[in-house]
Chain A
Amino acid sequence: MTDLILLLPELVLVFWAVALILLARHVRHARSAAAGVVIAAIAAIGVGWVFSGDGPPTAFDGTIAGDGYAQFFKLLIASTLALAALLSVRHVDAERVRPAEFFALLLLASTGMMLAASALDLLTLYLGLELMSLCSYILVGITRERPTANEAAIKYFLLGSFASALLLYGIALAYGVTGSTSYAAMASALSERTLAQSPLLLVSIALLAGGLAFKIAAVPFHAWAPDAYQGATAPVAAFLAAGSKAAGLAALGRVSLVAFAPQQHIWAVILMGLAALSMAIGSLLAVSQSDVKRLLAYSSVAHAGYALLGLVAGTPDGVSATMTYAFVYAFMTLGAFGVVIGLGERGEGLAGYRGLAFISPVTAGLMLLFLLSLTGIPPTAGFAAKFAVILSIVREGHVALAVLAVACSVVSAYFYLRIAVLMYMTEPAEPAPGRFPAAVSAALVVAAVVTVLGGIFPGTFAAWTTPP
């Protein structure tokens, strides 16, 4: 029974999801459902925190971890869920989506993410990621009347199934080589084995890396992200950007550093390639985008690259930097999406930002803050996070990668600040946007506070991180 303590946050979310589905008939307004989800997310964080020391170190025959690493990502995922729920209120009502279904899927996807972050076994990881992915496919296509959403969902589903197949095949090969799917058993089996003895191991690592890279939208497994983000409603895109990336990074961290600890150097090379390609291609392709959601999708590809840098280093410092990066990225990207969502239809095209600073200065100021943070300019959290990941790879001697990272930052400055230029340096073309719904404003305030505090006290989030 004590095993269940480690799963309390997940159980809270599942309970709410089930309750929502049972009460679906009575849930008419997105507002009440969203409030419930926020409470559930806070409750999940609360029980995770209250019982943090009570459970066993691992549960269910060593398949679920209760370590600080899992707790950190659960906190991050629950926060993402709460903010995404707040951001969804208007869209769910406006698109006439059934609120109970929508929020239940959001809750279940988060549960999957949490499971993936605490999995200590490849099969548990797979289950968690699949739960997340299946819910995400539906969430992307949940506005059935919109053809773009259907198209996005189908693309996402097809590519996602392919990635899941890669992952599963990788798991099977890993099982073949090591005789186990448990991280600890794999690591001890692998420590007695060199690559030359089992070439299949390399194939297995490559397949696992590919499958997981898909979840964080790292190049060359990124093709789904721009279409899915653009086709999905903005809150779903925000949720995917922040949550899916966190879960994928958590899984990559554990798999590369725990399960394959003896082969970490191989992972480092693969992750280095993924990181370099993601940063460069994500930044370059974002330059020519005129759809803001698509632009943020390419930016999320680039940020996947930055976040991976810490795992390339593979040191405790590096892992802590990656965790910090995932955390900070979630809040700044949710913030940026929040502004897009608050502005409604006009927020999705670049032209909607013309002269925004003249007609609604606070909105423009918040967007500027999030854009500066995404660019990595101090004193914002994005700078602190970028500093941490680059420091971790420079400590391992990868200076060229560090130079590439900052070069890509300059490119990214160009497209992020293009929005700033539109907001501050052109005349407004449309009348002032309407008032933001209270829920969206609340989410924006939380995101902004985290973005500012994380910049002024860069050590805060790093202090919460613990390597797996």
Chain B
Amino acid sequence: MTTYPILTVTTFLPLIGAAAILMLGERLARWIGLATTLATVAVSAPLYLRFDKTSSALQFVETVRWIPSWNVVYSMGVDGISLPFIFLSVVMSVLCVGASWTAIQMRPCEFYSTLLVAETAMIGLFAATNFFLFYVFWELMVVPMFLLVGVWGGPLRVHAAVKFLLFTLGGSLLMLVGLIALLDATGTLDFQALGRTSLSLELQAWLFVAFTAAFAVKVPMFPLHTWLPDAHTEAPTAGSMILAGILLKMGGYGLLRIALPILPDALQLFLVPLLVLSSVAIVYGAYVTLAQTDVKRLIAYSSVSHMGFVTLGIFTLNRSGLEGAILQMVNHGIITGALFLCVGIIYERAHTRDIVAYGGLVRIAPVYTTFLALFCLAAAGFPGLNAFVGEFLIISGAFHARLWLGAVALWGVALGATYILWLYYRMAMGETKPELREHCLDLDAREIAILAPLALLVLVIGLHPESVLGFLRVSVAELLAAVAAPSAGAGGP
């Protein structure tokens, strides 16, 4: 049926594109970037088309001997949880190339090859089925992100890049110790084999702290979120899109793939503090967002609040919450990516991110404001658009788990609608600023072509959520079974 190792080809094709860009030079850089990302979408297509939604087993599995002395193999495969993220990664990469088409004039060769290396790291991370490979891609992601923010970012880019790097390295090196301790205790790093092992509660607790610290930095969970506004604000548009769209999801994905199924007893131990931190992230993040005057910073802080919803959904540990959390990660990737894109588009024209510099855009840029309105409404959780389904599932999961969680989540939704619609109001409505009229502000064909797929995804998932949820259902059920059954050795708290 399959004639090529789909996951390996999908993962490493961008790397080949990166090498080609470096060899062929500046003139072709963006074209090769576009061709490579489109080709990656094409080669990954069989994954979605031939995926068996009724099976929770890993599919498209590839295994090659790698490091026998550590019992580490090169193994890739997808299940219902990883597949949506792979889809998101390949689509986002195409749009990132599109978003950078005219914005990146400085050293395009290096820019597009860095972007493509990041794509390899993203896809590889979601396709890896053992912890070692997962870690390699996890760390590989840090380097291109550091360069994207630090080289092509805004005025404070170096500070932002170094802060990002130290936060993530601090977290991930703790994960390395945990990973090594896990290998030492179980002799394997294969996710499925690890899920079947039973570790003592004490070891689980230590490992949980190590892993969750790493994931919490990436998500980011309150109070480890402080790198995010800086990195988001300073990153170039494509960098912000990858950060919001994919990188933050790596943390949530890590929780789902590692913390939940492998360490279920420790999870119960830390559940309440984690729920509290998630709630704090939702509400605190939302209030801080309200106070922002910089468009990019506003969206960045809104990510803290939205990712609070995601972790809340994960830690409700029920079907509705988990499915909602995964769906919401995909939604947040799409919507926030789109919002950063909108900000990037207007920044290219007006060269300011100050909200008060805008106003009355609706009169001079009707197409732009239509897209902006759609994405703002989606972010606010408007029914019929994608985030509504995700938030609904998370909130119903939260009410199901604990009443106060549901109340906090509702409060967060109300605040979320406030800040995002107020942003829209300040940018699109009111008096048109005279300096804005001087720039030709409405979208050109390229920009419409990048925004349209995202708008389409917002509508499709909003009207037919089953298109994503259908993939998740069986895998989430299996994950819940793994979490619910306390492992035999530990006895549970």
Question: Which A positions have Cβ atoms within 8 angstroms of B?
Answer: 357-358, 361, 372, 377-379, 383, 387, 390-391, 394-395, 399, 402-403, 406-407, 409-410, 413-414, 417, 420-421, 424-426, 457-459, 462-463
Q: Are B140 and A378 in contact (CB under 8 A)?
A: yes
Q: Are A424 and B173 in contact (CB under 8 A)?
A: no
On chain B, the residues within 8 Å of A403 by CB distance are 174, 177
Q: Are B173 and A406 in contact (CB under 8 A)?
A: yes
Interface segment out of the listed B143-151, B300-308, B370-378 = B143-151
**Contact residue among A413, A424, A425 (Cβ-Cβ distance under 8 Å from B169):** A413
Task: Report 27 cross-chain contacts, Cβ distance below 8 Å, ordered by A residue.
Answer: A357-B151, A358-B107, A372-B143, A377-B139, A378-B140, A379-B136, A379-B140, A383-B136, A387-B176, A390-B176, A390-B180, A391-B180, A391-B183, A394-B181, A399-B177, A402-B180, A406-B173, A407-B173, A410-B166, A410-B169, A417-B146, A421-B162, A425-B158, A457-B67, A459-B67, A459-B70, A462-B69
Bound CA–CA A383/B140 (angstroms):
11
Known A-B contacts A410-B169, A424-B150; A394 and B180 likewise in contact (beta carbons under 8 Å):
yes
Known A-B contacts A383-B139, A410-B170; A421 and B158 likewise in contact (beta carbons under 8 Å):
yes
Q: Closest CB-CB distance, A123 to chain B, in whole Å? A: 36
- Complex A-B, nearest 5 residue pairs according to Cβ-Cβ distance, in ascending order: A406-B173, A378-B136, A459-B67, A425-B150, A394-B180
Q: Are B174 and A406 in contact (CB under 8 A)?
A: yes
Bound CA–CA A406/B66 (angstroms):
24
Q: Closest CB-CB distance, B124 to chain A, in whole Å? A: 10
Residue B68 CB within 8 A of the other chain: yes
Q: Are A425 and B170 in contact (CB under 8 A)?
A: no
Residue B161 CB within 8 A of the other chain: yes
Bound CA–CA A199/B129 (angstroms):
54
Residue B165 CB within 8 A of the other chain: yes
On chain A, the residues within 8 Å of B146 by CB distance are 417, 420
Q: Are B184 and A395 in contact (CB under 8 A)?
A: yes
Residue of B with least CB distance to A411: B166
On chain A, the residues within 8 Å of B176 by CB distance are 387, 390, 406
Q: A387-B70, A410-B166, A417-B146 are in contact. List 13 more A-B contacts (CB 8 A).
A: A357-B110, A387-B180, A390-B180, A394-B180, A395-B184, A399-B177, A406-B174, A407-B173, A410-B173, A417-B162, A424-B150, A457-B67, A462-B69
Q: Closest CB-CB distance, B128 to chain A, in whole Å? A: 12
On chain A, the residues within 8 Å of B150 by CB distance are 421, 424-425
Q: Closest CB-CB distance, B125 to chain A, in whole Å? A: 12
Bound CA–CA A457/B110 (angstroms):
26
Number of interface residues of B (CB under 8 A): 33
Q: Are A391 and B139 in contact (CB under 8 A)?
A: no
Q: Are B136 and A399 in contact (CB under 8 A)?
A: no
Q: Are B157 and A425 in contact (CB under 8 A)?
A: yes
Q: Are A413 and B166 in contact (CB under 8 A)?
A: yes
Known A-B contacts A410-B170, A413-B165, A425-B158; A402 and B177 likewise in contact (beta carbons under 8 Å):
yes
Residue B135 CB within 8 A of the other chain: yes
Bound CA–CA A406/B178 (angstroms):
11
Majority SS of interface residues in chain B? Answer: helix
Bound CA–CA A138/B145 (angstroms):
46
On chain A, the residues within 8 Å of B68 by CB distance are 459
Q: Are B177 and A361 in contact (CB under 8 A)?
A: no
On chain B, the residues within 8 Å of A357 by CB distance are 110, 151
Residue B9 CB within 8 A of the other chain: no
Q: Closest CB-CB distance, B383 to chain A, in whole Å? A: 44
Bound CA–CA A361/B22 (angstroms):
10
On chain A, the residues within 8 Å of B181 by CB distance are 394, 399, 402
**Contact mask for chain B residues 45-81; partner A; CB cutoff 8 A; 1 contact, 0 none:** 0000000000000000000001111100000000000
Bound CA–CA A377/B147 (angstroms):
15
Q: Are A394 and B161 in contact (CB under 8 A)?
A: no
Bound CA–CA A25/B398 (angstroms):
86
On chain A, the residues within 8 Å of B135 by CB distance are 378
On chain A, the residues within 8 Å of B161 by CB distance are 421, 425
Q: Closest CB-CB distance, B122 to chain A, in whole Å? A: 15
**Contact mask for chain B residues 107-145; partner A; CB cutoff 8 A; 1 contact, 0 none:** 100100000000000000000000000011001101100
Residue of B with least CB distance to A422: B158
On chain A, the residues within 8 Å of B158 by CB distance are 421, 425-426
Known A-B contacts A358-B107, A394-B177, A425-B150; A459 and B162 likewise in contact (beta carbons under 8 Å):
no
Residue of B with least CB distance to A418: B162
On chain A, the residues within 8 Å of B69 by CB distance are 459, 462-463
Q: Which of B202-258 touch A at CB < 8 Å?
A: none
Q: Closest CB-CB distance, A342 to chain B, in whole Å? A: 20
Q: Are B143 and A406 in contact (CB under 8 A)?
A: no
Residue of A with least CB distance to B158: A425
Known A-B contacts A424-B150, A459-B69; A377 and B143 likewise in contact (beta carbons under 8 Å):
yes
Q: Are B140 and A390 in contact (CB under 8 A)?
A: no
On chain B, the residues within 8 Å of A383 by CB distance are 136, 139
Residue of A with least CB distance to B149: A425
